Chain A
Amino acid sequence: MTSIAKPQIPLLPLERNQLGLTIRDYSGSMSTLCAGCGHDSVTAAIQEALWGLSIPPYQVAKLSGIGCSSKTPQYFDAAAVGFNSVHGRMAAVASGAAAANRGLVVVGVSGDGDSLSIGLGNLAHAIRRNVRMLYVIANNGVYGLTKGQFSASADIGSRSRKGEPNLLPPVDPMLLGLSLGATFLARGFSGDKAQLVPILKAGLSHGGFALVDVISPCVQFNDHEGSTKSFRYVREHELQDIEADIIPVRGQIHSEQTPGAVTEVELHDGSRVLFRAVPEGYDPRDRVRVGSYLVESARRGEIATGLLYLDEETPDMHQLSETPEERLWDLPFERLCPGSAELARFQARLR
């Protein structure tokens, strides 16, 4: 029913980030999702990523569409102003917010129905515009709120709870993103926070549209035998060849480097991502190579996860629009209005 405030149970002294804030300062209301829902792990990972990067909680603009996943902005970062918009339109609404205020840390949470069915067009074009934001698809292959219909990301042959097979090919947001000129593509698994948090951090530090597809099983409608989005199936078929560690601008190195086999990419804010990849010659900046890696792994029935593709060179929406460093929304009016003398001059040629 109504929103539930989270009980503040005293815990052991919590670690503080560079702003002196604990993970609690990035939390929201109690989740009303089903017990064990993968989306709650996504929420926790987002919270940890924001905390870990010491992003001021109020600087975040959190947005969503409609669906189970789109409820989650209520469950993290209560100090932020958020917008739970309409089905499939979050990418557009977020584009507008990012346009008005380039200082915002825009975090969009969506689902596979919201992003890959009803909102596919808006997602595709937000990718093309390279809006600077973190866009998370909590992907479970099923419509939860309406109780179990296949979504556009369901694999061919994957079975519904009632046993019917899905007949249509899935929309893979990673391959889709590659073809649209996406600049950041990553896939994670809600059951693997150790991998997901660095991916989200890298996405938050990226200078463009960071698309993160998180396989997030639906415990109610898509966690059974025969489903290709169940916890068990994903655990058994996950292909974790591409490892990426993020080194925040002022942060520590999160894991040990293996010299020699590492590809380093500097992110927009000065952070660095270190890639270690098992496939020989894998270059996360090579669109063609990444594409064939994704197609080949999918053909083998594997779910390739990790920070798969990264391009820090392509200008984002603001750079393309040549906007000033200031935020558009509160530019001084004097700078925006040409004034009466200009109006008279303009009309001289209409006389």
Chain B
Amino acid sequence: MAEVQLPEAPSRARVNEFAIKLANVNGTGSASTNNLLMQTIFRMGVPVSGKNLFPSNIQGLPTWYEVRVSQSGHTARTASFDLMVAMNGQTYQQDIEEVASGGYLVYDDSWPLNPEMRRPDITFLGAPLAQLCAQRFTTVKERILMKNVATAGLVAALLALPLEELSKQLVAAYSRRPQLLEDNQAALELGYRYALDNFSCPLPFHVEQMGAPDGRILIDGNTAVALGAVFAGATVGAWYPITPATSVMENFVRLCAQYRRHPGPDGREAHDYLILQAEDELAALGIVVGASWAGARAFTSTSGPGLSLMQELLGLAYYTEVPAVLVDVQRAGPSTGMPTRVQQADLFSAAFASHGDTRHILLFPSDPRECFLHTVQAFDLAERFQTPVLVMSDLDIGMNDWEVPELTWDDSYRPDRGRLLGTEELERLEHFWRYGDPDLQWTTPRAVPGETPRAGHLVRGSGHDLRALYTERPDEYQEVVDRLLRKHQAAATHLPPPVVELREGAPFGVISMGSCDLAVREALEEFPGPAPSYLRITGYPFPPAVAEFIEAHTHCYVVEQNRDAQLRSLLLIETGAGGERLRPVLSYGGLPITASFIRDRILEQESPQ
């Protein structure tokens, strides 16, 4: 029944150093299979990453899952796959092309594969999974779902993943549904046995236990953001559903239900949070601005199109100096763009969001751990500097599971509420001028509604003076907006510090941000010749260290995931560096950037033909 071909190309014995890709149809339950494999490898203590490439669709379109296993810790995306599990006839052609020479392709030979598609340099492993499942399971739905689990069993055998570990996870997932558990176990074993009986398992590249993954967790960035918001004490969340940010607030809802419900004095359970699914992103940010103005820690999560709608309110919060935290899980634009693909292309629309002279504080987390840390910090910065703070995550960080060091929390942490004055302080003041008496960071005293008659004032998005009164006088207007600029500049040294890795004799520097980090590091490690220096930008406005880094190198490559070199432009504007010193390396096809792309683009420019 099965056709087994011996490898024609020399095998590549690479234990714990390979990548696989699973091609599937969305809406068939393949996500649980993907997780099963990823979790198992993670629990064997081997560094691993999983990237879900999914369509903006509910059912029927192609979806892929890429798993990279790397004992050396190179878990950025790679575009070269040693094993392709091609379970979607629609994409055979493309999937076959993506297998590295000498690699393997598993397909369902319940149906014949067009011989013209075959490549001589890879090994085709056919397994009649659909037929096997049709024999074992009765309903169509079961057959489709269980084929995925059988696939997991088959891959497990090929990669030497212990069956018990996969089985243990099924038990954990379906302990309350014995029939489903039985079916899953049967399907898993079906695939596993088939591979053992028909292929020479394991493949030359496979997984070997490296010890327990001590101190490491698997988490996605959106969950980490939600955790950060809970730990920072956010009580109001407002949002409008949008891919890929939706799971931020969904997780916040779930976590609040878990941690923020307390029995009240009347025995009724009280919810120490209020989350509003708004009618649109304008309202979502409006609610956040209103709640923050009234003193709450409030936040919203969105992506590009939502950020566009929020522009006017961002300008309002900036000019009226109301804190606001916004998490932008960036996706590929412009317009609707590719909602399920990644880019870092919202820098312009975030840094200068809204008309007029505006500047915002941006943070650039590079992985889910930093999503957690930066979110907490965003609330402190927003209140300290009385302004919006945008956490610039992206789809790759937000929606994929990343392996990161366990999150830690300092129980002595207390929110920094900036110059939010209490009733007693307000009543001691000679006068309360909302925009007067700046401190060293150029922030001014703030009062919430409802506390004391001493604080009476009306903030406004229209021209205002130190007392928040309407003005059209040039001097009064300028006094406020000039301070706003100084305040923005003062924030630079309060943001998470940039990661600076200066290397002696470095031929050039590399500057990047966010989710490019792993791919940049991998590219630099493997770079021929003397090691380049590396600067990872973590926030905007830039602290002096950024200009100093640029100054210290003849030239730098700015690696980012957008077409227009937005980070580079921001660096040119802010540091005054000459354009020739900053050379763009741009990946913007929507798939996470790879080390080989970065290395090739830099090499092209370093050694011109």
Contact = CB atoms under 8 A, between A and B. Distances in A.
A100 B298 CA distance: 9
A90 to B, nearest CB: 8
A282 interface: no
A81 B320 CA distance: 13
Contacts of A101: 294-296, 448-450
A336 B296 contact: no
A324 B260 CA distance: 11
Contacts of A78: 456
A92 B235 contact: no
Interface in B388-436: 406-411, 413-415
Contacts of B284: 92
Contact of B450 (A58, A321, A342): A58
Contacts of B406: 344, 347, 351
Interface of B: 43, 213, 216-219, 227, 230-233, 235-236, 238, 259-260, 262, 264-265, 268-276, 278-280, 282-296, 298, 312-313, 316, 320, 406-411, 413-415, 447-453, 455-462, 465, 469-473, 476
Nearest to B414: A333
A350 B276 CA distance: 28
Contact of B410 (A99, A323, A340): A340
A92 B283 CA distance: 5
A59 interface: yes
A336 B458 contact: no
Contacts of B270: 322-325
B287 A93 contact: yes
Given A58-B456, A343-B231, A330 B407 contact: no
Given A80-B449, A94-B290, A321-B271, A89 B458 contact: no
A325 B450 contact: no
Contacts of A96: 236, 238, 286-294, 296, 298
Contacts of A93: 286-287, 289-290, 293
A74 interface: yes
A343 B407 contact: yes
A325 B72 CA distance: 54
Contact of B293 (A79, A83, A328): A83
A329 B450 CA distance: 12
A85 B465 CA distance: 16
Contacts of A94: 290
A61 to B, nearest CB: 4
20 contacts: A1-B472, A3-B471, A60-B450, A63-B290, A74-B470, A81-B448, A83-B458, A85-B289, A86-B313, A92-B282, A95-B287, A99-B294, A101-B449, A104-B449, A104-B450, A317-B276, A325-B264, A328-B272, A336-B235, A344-B406
Contacts of B282: 88-89, 92, 121-122
B279 A343 contact: no
A64 B531 CA distance: 58
A37 interface: no
A95 B278 CA distance: 10
A20 interface: no
A97 B274 contact: no
A104 B448 CA distance: 10
A339 interface: yes
B42 to A, nearest CB: 9
B409 A340 contact: yes
Interface in A334-350: 335-340, 342-344, 346-347, 350
B294 A329 contact: yes
B271 A323 contact: yes
A337 B410 CA distance: 11
Contacts of A351: 43, 213, 216-218, 406
Nearest to A126: B283
B296 A81 contact: no
